[in-house]
Amino acid sequence: MPERTAGAAAIRKPGGEQSAYQSLARELRTALLRREYPEGVRLPTEAELAERHRVSRQTVRRAFQDLVAEGMVYRVPGRGTFAAPRSDQYLRQFGSVEDLMGLSIDTSMELVTGLHRTVHVDAAGRLRLGADIVHSLAFRRLHDGVPFCLTTVYLPPAVGKLVEEVPELSATGSSSRLTVIGLLDTRLADPIAEAEQSITVVLAPPAVAAHLGCEPDQPLLRIDRVYYSTAGQPVELAVSYFVPERYSYRVRLRRSGH
C-alpha cells in the first residue's frame, strides 16, 4: 500500500510544569466540547475567570488566545468571547494523554470487532513481547453519529486480561463513551505516562473504507500510537485511520524553555 510519512512525536501526561493558562484553556476546552457554552453564547469575561480561578487576567487572555487559534471560540472587541459554531469536521487539539482520553467527552465508540486473543507478529514486536500472542479489538469513533476514525488496538496479554470482562469491549456493535486508554489507566499498576506516535498518509484499504463510508483508495490519515506506562513498558498499540474531510488534527509546538 502506498504510504507517505508525515511525522512522529511523543505525547505525554502533563506534569507540574503545565502552566496556569494551559490548565485554564484545557478546562474551558472541555466545557465547550460538552456544550456547556452552546454556539454563540458568551463565555465569562477575563475579569470573571481571573477571579474564579485565582489567576491574572493575562493568564486568562493567553488561554483565550489558544482557544481562538483552535477555532473553539471567537472574540468580538468590546463585547467578549463567544463559543464558535461547530462545523461538520471534527476538530481537536492534542498535546497530552489526557487530551486523548478526552475523546470520551463528545464522541462515541462503536465496536467493530470484540476483544479477542490473536497472533500478530508485528504488533507483538512493537509491544516488545516475547511471544506473538496479543489481545485485539477494533472500533469506529463517531462524532454526532458520523464515523471519522477506525482504530485497531493491540494489547499485551497481561494488559488484555485487565479489560476482558468489560461488556462494551466484547459485544460487536455496542456503543459507548469509553476510551481504551481511559479504561487501562484505572486498572494498570503503573498508569499510562506517554505515547509515541507516527503519522502517515495511506490509501484506504477496502475493509477500512467500508467501515468509514469512504471510497477505497481514498487518502486517509494513519496515526500509530504506542502507549507506555510510568515504568516505561508498552501497554497498548493503537492503529487509527482518519477521514481528513471529517477530522482535523492540531498539535501546538513550543520552543523549550518558553
Q: Are 202 and 241 in contact (CB under 8 A)?
A: yes
Per-residue pLDDT, 224: 96
| C-alpha dihedral, 118 to 123 to 127 to 129, nearest 10° | 50
Question: Looking at residues 95-117, what average pLDDT do you find?
Answer: 78
Amino acid at site 145: G
Strand partners, 75: 81
Per-residue pLDDT, 17: 44
More confidently predicted of 95 and 37: 37
Residue 1, pLDDT > 50, answer: no
The pLDDT tens digits of the residues spanning 112-170 come to 999 999 999 999 999 999 999 999 999 999 988 889 999 999 999 999 999 999 999 99
And the C-alpha cell for 221?
Answer: 490519515
Gap between the Cα atoms of 179 and 185, Å rounded? 10
State what percent of residues in the chain have pLDDT above 70. 81
Residue 232, pLDDT > 80, answer: yes
Question: Looking at residues 9-13, what average pLDDT do you find?
Answer: 57
Per-residue pLDDT, 164: 94
Gap between the Cα atoms of 226 and 237, Å rounded? 5
Select from 156, 225, 223 the least CA-distant residue to 190.
Answer: 156
**Computed from CA positions of residues 154, 158, 162, 164, in that sequence, does the dihedral angle turn out positive or negative?**
positive
First to last CA, the chain: 41
Question: Looking at residues 227-247, what average pLDDT do you find?
Answer: 92
For the chain, the average pLDDT equals 85
The domains found in the chain, sorted by start residue, are 3-13+89-250 (3.40.1410.10), 20-83 (1.10.10.10)
| pLDDT band at 7; cut points 50, 70, 90 | low
Amino acid at site 213: G
The pLDDT tens digits of the residues spanning 217-231 come to 999 999 999 999 989
